[in-house]
Structure 1
């Protein structure tokens, strides 16, 4: 079988050449292969030539870590996503902004802290950032629309730090980086740092950009990392059940909650959305890339995991880190490599094997049922009761049910169509299920109208 490595390398080299990127480091992580890492160019750091351990600013990819810290605190009962930030922080203004709105960039906060931080390259510390919140604008009404804000995510980082009794950097290291073994992801500038450049638009000159300490804005943009570690982080965002099966960092169900789109980033072109701190990029045929882009002076980063689609092996993540602040090819390459990974090297197809039958209590459910005049099929696969419309397109996931504790005849829809709704079973004297109610709609073996009459009988 041909190895896809040369195709990956060619894509990376093409992006580096077309984008005129001084140093490019790319990595793919997947559940069924060894990690793939490739570098092209020159680090600009004579003491540490470009290689797999070279480190780059990842900019706003940092926000995904802060978002996970927020969700950890929510899961532990330290906060509620619909609480205003004033419930936890004594701020002079905008205290009514909710945590959920800040995570999804729909709270209307201005983009940056007060002041011309990108002129001075001096950012406020955590205390100053919060104390001067009254000098920052609410540029849009709460919940009006998407508006990206570094300030909003920075505030959330300090909120979590206040709840935990430490700094954002300390909490991040203790609760995410160490548990996942991301030892080369740091707040401080590492010795292996690549130099970031502004590449001249009209010549081949490249000017080193000045280093910037984000200080109090750190929870939004401070981190350095390697492509390999960021590909693993992207894989976690796509498949936490594989990367973190014990849920030491975050329960898989909570990451799934973060991936649900809460807003679109453009009301006329629905090409991307935002969940809880995560960018969601649809890629056709029920595939979505989940992660974040990043930008800092002299650096761009694209870090995404792939969910869904044929050939996806699970825990498929890609990171593209570059030492240019202007090369959009860096962003595009992350998505291109994720597509190539499943096109050139799809996951193995495992043989089907027989499994134990459905529990006796649920066998009489299996088969076709009618609800709202529409035909559904109920099945038992993977130890779960499932349901789909008979004409559902291929690839659409089924609804999955789980019985309520101590109530085998009342099941909760845990995913898919009608998620959250109840399925109630009605049995005859022999224990066979003869009728069901799902989300209160009646389900019967034959097609019936809402008055209970059979469609085959026609009008009375």
Structure 2
């Protein structure tokens, strides 16, 4: 066992002991290493002792799958995120909520379907859930603030199912689980299921919690899985690479913060179906927590930061419904992965020079009194403020196919804006306009005068 793995194992054992978790299963996935898995405790299932293939409820991590199904449908032209849900689904009330607002929990839907689901443990089927939407409340105005809603995500799951012509479970298996090889992730309770417990607060006793089939609420929290499957899923959410499921640009869109979950802290954001946990220094953990009777889950991938190997995801699944250590451990292991076992530093190598059309652009420019550096790296034109911290990504430009001297900002500062180049009679770029702001080789004021010339005429 390597030193990093020893540290991982100790962190897992500490969380299981401190949290008094009957069974804990953990997996760490990364692009440059073999997956690491570890279990501690007992499954409570006499036919299937605890092991890497033990299945746990992942609760609301299910929502990330439903969100990806929604975005697939958008990319395929089946829906528009800014259209009301009633355009695609016949609902008796609250149909003006847009799909985007439902994904980001800002539509104001009440948390659960009509009725006392968590008291009776009887969930409505899909038809009843939708038919009784007029009995559910709109507890906040549309777009007022974040308010978590299982009902909202369940509605979206059935919307996608209708558009695709199947059930939510069928569409999930066909469009995500099978293509990504997540064969241990299931809608129904498998034979390898661990038992979920309520651990007594004042003794070492634990009571098995009853299994709950969520029926029509399934798109919000139904799934069972292994830590290995979920660590791979977390890595996909953070760094999808080449896949047959969702375009990387669409996942970028899902990870963009739509709201904060607490206006007084600004510590956690919510994108389109994804929780965003800032870690400082431009690092963010992206994924979701999950909770069901007797189970907690933390499934997150890590984006950014020095030492990050890419494709870095962690899943921690526990069989106690009250041990917050389960969720905390996922974040701790992601931090340990880059601290104790950082990615290897790739050697720099000579590459092809910039194309002739861009060589006169390279170097230092000035705009609004500030200095910028334009460079050619990794086969693309880039720009960054001269004083920007090293970890801040540069702006990256893509040429327009029909205009030789006009580029679109693909990412970074002024994303989406145009960069226009002006050339002299020799073809050298002597002036640029980025987002309409003038860029020059010397430091100029807005009136075109040089800063080095001192005071201009009095007005």
Question: Which of 411, 419, 426 is 1:423 aligned to?
Answer: 419
Listed as ranges, the matches of 1:302-341 within 5 Å are 302-341=298-337
Query: Which whole-Å CA distance do the structure 2 matches of 1:408 and 1:273 have between them?
Result: 39
Question: What do residues 217-271 of structure 1 show as CA deviations (whole Å, max 9, x unaligned)?
Answer: 0000000000000000000000001xxx0x4100000001000001000001111
Pairwise CA distance, 1:407:
1.6
Query: Which whole-Å CA distance do the structure 2 matches of 1:441 and 1:393 have between them?
Result: 22
Query: Which whole-Å CA distance do the structure 2 matches of 1:430 and 1:15 have between them?
Result: 67
Secondary structure of residue in 2 paired with 1:123: coil
Which residue of structure 2 aligns with residue 442 of structure 1? Answer: 438
Which residue of structure 1 aligns with residue 257 of structure 2? Answer: 261
Secondary structure of residue in 1 paired with 2:3: coil
Which residue of structure 2 aligns with residue 403 of structure 1? Answer: 399
Pairwise CA distance, 1:3:
2.9
Which residue of structure 2 aligns with residue 34 of structure 1? Answer: 34
Query: Which whole-Å CA distance do the structure 1 matches of 2:354 and 2:48 have between them?
Result: 59
Query: Which whole-Å CA distance do the structure 2 matches of 1:214 and 1:409 have between them?
Result: 56
2:247 counterpart of 1:251: yes
Listed as ranges, the matches of 1:6-405 within 5 Å are 6-241=6-241, 245=242, 247-405=243-401
Pairwise CA distance, 1:459:
2.0
Query: Which whole-Å CA distance do the structure 2 matches of 1:2 and 1:162 have between them?
Result: 49
Question: What do residues 142-176 of structure 1 show as CA deviations (whole Å, max 9, x unaligned)?
Answer: 00000000000000000000000000000000000
Query: Which whole-Å CA distance do the structure 2 matches of 1:84 and 1:455 have between them?
Result: 53
Query: Which whole-Å CA distance do the structure 1 matches of 2:183 and 2:295 have between them?
Result: 21
Query: Which whole-Å CA distance do the structure 1 matches of 2:404 and 2:142 have between them?
Result: 43
Pairwise CA distance, 1:141:
0.5
Question: What do residues 320-341 of structure 1 show as CA deviations (whole Å, max 9, x unaligned)?
Answer: 0000000000010000000000
Query: Which whole-Å CA distance do the structure 2 matches of 1:320 and 1:121 have between them?
Result: 25
Secondary structure of residue in 1 paired with 2:315: strand
Query: Which whole-Å CA distance do the structure 2 matches of 1:459 and 1:381 have between them?
Result: 39
Question: What do residues 173-204 of structure 1 show as CA deviations (whole Å, max 9, x unaligned)?
Answer: 00000000000000010000000000000100
Question: What do residues 306-330 of structure 1 show as CA deviations (whole Å, max 9, x unaligned)?
Answer: 0000000000000000000000000
Ranges in structure 1 where 5+ consecutive residues have no aligned partner = none
Question: What do residues 56-90 of structure 1 show as CA deviations (whole Å, max 9, x unaligned)?
Answer: 00000000000000000000100000000000011
Query: Which whole-Å CA distance do the structure 2 matches of 1:329 and 1:349 have between them?
Result: 33
Pairwise CA distance, 1:408:
2.2
Q: What RMSD, in angstroms, separates the aligned Cα atoms of the two structures?
A: 0.8
Matched pairs, number: 456
Query: Which whole-Å CA distance do the structure 2 matches of 1:376 and 1:399 have between them?
Result: 11
Pairwise CA distance, 1:406:
2.4
Question: What do residues 105-150 of structure 1 show as CA deviations (whole Å, max 9, x unaligned)?
Answer: 0000000000000010001100100010000000000000000000
Stretches (4+) displaced over 2 A: none
Ranges in structure 2 where 5+ consecutive residues have no aligned partner = none
Query: Which whole-Å CA distance do the structure 2 matches of 1:430 and 1:402 have between them?
Result: 24
Secondary structure of residue in 2 paired with 1:189: coil
Pairwise CA distance, 1:372:
1.1
Query: Which whole-Å CA distance do the structure 2 matches of 1:347 and 1:337 have between them?
Result: 15
Question: What do residues 321-370 of structure 1 show as CA deviations (whole Å, max 9, x unaligned)?
Answer: 00000000001000000000000000000110000000000000000000
Query: Which whole-Å CA distance do the structure 1 matches of 2:307 and 2:244 have between them?
Result: 28
TM-score by length of 1: 0.98
Pairwise CA distance, 1:2:
4.8
Secondary structure of residue in 1 paired with 2:301: strand
TM-score by length of 2: 0.99
Secondary structure of residue in 1 paired with 2:393: coil
Question: What do residues 410-443 of structure 1 show as CA deviations (whole Å, max 9, x unaligned)?
Answer: 0000000000000000001111000000000000
